[in-house]
Amino acid sequence: MASSLSTAVLELPAGKMPLLHEGETSQAQLRQFEVHAKNYFSLKKVAAADHVAHVIGCFRNFRVTDELEIESERAAALALDFKKFMDKIRGYLLPSDWERRLRQQVNQRKQGTNETFTKFATAVRSANSLLINTPSYVDDARIRTILEANMVPDLIDDLIDDDKAVGESDFTAWLNIVKHIDDKRLCDIAAEERERAKRERNTSNTNDERPAKRNRRDENTAPSSSSTNAAGGKRCPKLTEAERDLLNANHGCTKCRVPFVAHADDRDKSCDFPAAAGYKTVTRAVIDAAAAALTAEQRKQFGVAPAKTKPVAAVLDAAAVAATGFASADEGDVDDSDDSSDNESDLSRRVSEPHLFWDFRMEGPMSNLPIHLRGLIDDGAHLVIIHEDVVEALGLRRFRLHKPQPVSVAMNNDSPITLTEYVKFRALSTDMSYETNTVPALIAPNLCAPVILGLPFLVRNHIVVDHEARTAIDKRTNYSLLDP
């Protein structure tokens, strides 16, 4: 049986005709055979009419030789041009569906999470090259579409955000741009894996650490500083000069390494050293995040300037909040009396307008199908913000902000909150005919709507909002978000 044969050996001697021996033959081998023979014809200046006569004796495969031993078959083969002759050879040696299989490889090959874009693209293009001179062969424009469709989601998100990549029309230049974007993606993955391995090692070291020797003094005696913290874990690394300077400049304790604490100047500190597991080096970012979380009273206590926060929108009426399915107003705050006059009703219409909401769909690793959500269009918000419940429900990948974002809510006297994580937000219209560009959406708890679509969303998607006409239209495509 054919399946029991070993792989055929293909000889490609320099300056001579190729030789294909007995065995299972692939389209890749036949393409090599074909190219080598053409190079020989060109080198030796063999006339086109003689191409088949030169190559017909180069097969040592019984499925070819047996067929060509028949005089009528041999005569018919010699009458063919070289291309049609090779098609005939493929009919002898390859499965009947070889072209369909290769076409599937081109269209369905997926990029692996840890696979480089270069390796992925090379595999797709190599499979496509084996389809040259067949109806299934596709051009560079189609290959680009196939590569974009089968990239890993993180890479396509980064690609959409890169204006240079989106605007590049030259295929080779586009491949180089995507390679650089993918290299950064893989570096981020490697960094995350190193961090995870480091945390696991620290946890393992903490668990394997032998219990500290018993203090020979009475157990009621206060413990002194030792190589373990109060929890019995391995102590964190020694403070560097840079860390010590940061803590001293920001009312920080050099033992527990927390900035802005009242006991920073105490001689006998009752706090503990941090555990080694999960220890974070004291950096300017750590100090800034701690400062951003201070209350107004604490800022006054430690002499910290008021935080420069930007309000992220939105005064929402109770009905609008309830309609989103998220946190609603306290019913006790709603006046449901019916003694208002027509004049008061007219006044109400003049002092407020209904919010602009966009109903859309969003998908994630935890959802089998896109789920329906409602987003508040807010061109007064400088951020895009997403409710943490949505992130959890969809299983969206979280990313750490390089610089935490302290934010406050309009007309709110409470202290600002600090947002530290974001997701890559991309939405589909409910009719699935419109897809937004990807923007970072900061994760926030207790948000008044599933998503607040602030200025980054509107700018990146070229959305023009007409408040009087109550429209939000993508000026590139004229797609209306509020009236599709």
Q: What is the pLDDT of residues 104-136, one digit of tens each?
A: 889 888 998 888 999 999 999 999 999 988 888
Does the pLDDT of residue 421 top 70, yes or no? yes
> Do 265 and 121 sit in the same domain of this protein?
no
- Tokens (6 digits) for 53: 């006569």
More confident residue, 434 or 328: 434
Does the pLDDT of residue 227 top 50, yes or no? no
Contacts of 356 (CB under 8 A, 6+ apart): 376, 377, 465, 467, 470, 472, 482
pLDDT, residue 2, reads 45
Assess if residue 231 is contained within a domain: no
> Do 9 and 125 sit in the same domain of this protein?
no
> Do 376 and 422 sit in the same domain of this protein?
yes
Contacts of 179 (CB under 8 A, 6+ apart): 116, 117, 118
pLDDT, residue 457, reads 94
Confidence of residue 222 (pLDDT cuts 50, 70, 90): very low
Confidence of residue 45 (pLDDT cuts 50, 70, 90): very high
Mean pLDDT within 302-322:
54
Cross-strand partners of 440: 424
Does the pLDDT of residue 427 top 80, yes or no? yes
Mean pLDDT within 456-476:
92
pLDDT, residue 5, reads 67
Does the pLDDT of residue 300 top 70, yes or no? yes
> Do 30 and 50 sit in the same domain of this protein?
yes
Last residue of a domain, one of 60, 77, 94: 94
Does the pLDDT of residue 30 top 90, yes or no? yes
Mean pLDDT within 82-101:
91
Which of 35-49, 121-135, 146-160, 228-242 has the least mean pLDDT?
A: 228-242
Assess if residue 119 is contained within a domain: yes
> Do 367 and 391 sit in the same domain of this protein?
yes
> Do 327 and 438 sit in the same domain of this protein?
yes
> Do 454 and 323 sit in the same domain of this protein?
yes
**Percent of the chain with pLDDT strictly greater than 70:** 79
Does the pLDDT of residue 255 top 50, yes or no? yes
Confidence of residue 380 (pLDDT cuts 50, 70, 90): confident
Mean pLDDT within 378-397:
88
Does the pLDDT of residue 452 top 90, yes or no? yes
Does the pLDDT of residue 199 top 50, yes or no? yes
Give the total number of structural domains in the chain: 4
pLDDT, residue 419, reads 87
Mean pLDDT within 55-72:
87
- The chain-wide mean pLDDT, for the chain, equals 80
> Do 325 and 472 sit in the same domain of this protein?
yes
pLDDT, residue 334, reads 39
Each residue of 350-363: pLDDT tens digit? 677 888 999 999 88
Assess if residue 222 is contained within a domain: no
> Do 10 and 25 sit in the same domain of this protein?
yes
**Percent of the chain with pLDDT strictly greater than 90:** 30
Confidence of residue 341 (pLDDT cuts 50, 70, 90): very low
**Range(s) of the domain holding residue 27:** 2-94
Most confident residue range from 119-133, 263-277, 364-378: 119-133
pLDDT, residue 318, reads 45
> Do 438 and 419 sit in the same domain of this protein?
yes
Assess if residue 193 is contained within a domain: no
More confident residue, 319 or 136: 136
- Tokens (6 digits) for 310: 């930007």
Last residue of a domain, one of 94, 119, 139: 94
Assess if residue 111 is contained within a domain: yes
Last residue of a domain, one of 55, 72, 94: 94
More confident residue, 78 or 272: 78
pLDDT, residue 348, reads 53
> Do 325 and 435 sit in the same domain of this protein?
yes
Does the pLDDT of residue 453 top 90, yes or no? yes
> Do 90 and 105 sit in the same domain of this protein?
no
Assess if residue 309 is contained within a domain: no
Confidence of residue 228 (pLDDT cuts 50, 70, 90): very low
More confident residue, 222 or 98: 98
Does the pLDDT of residue 267 top 80, yes or no? no
Mean pLDDT within 307-311:
50
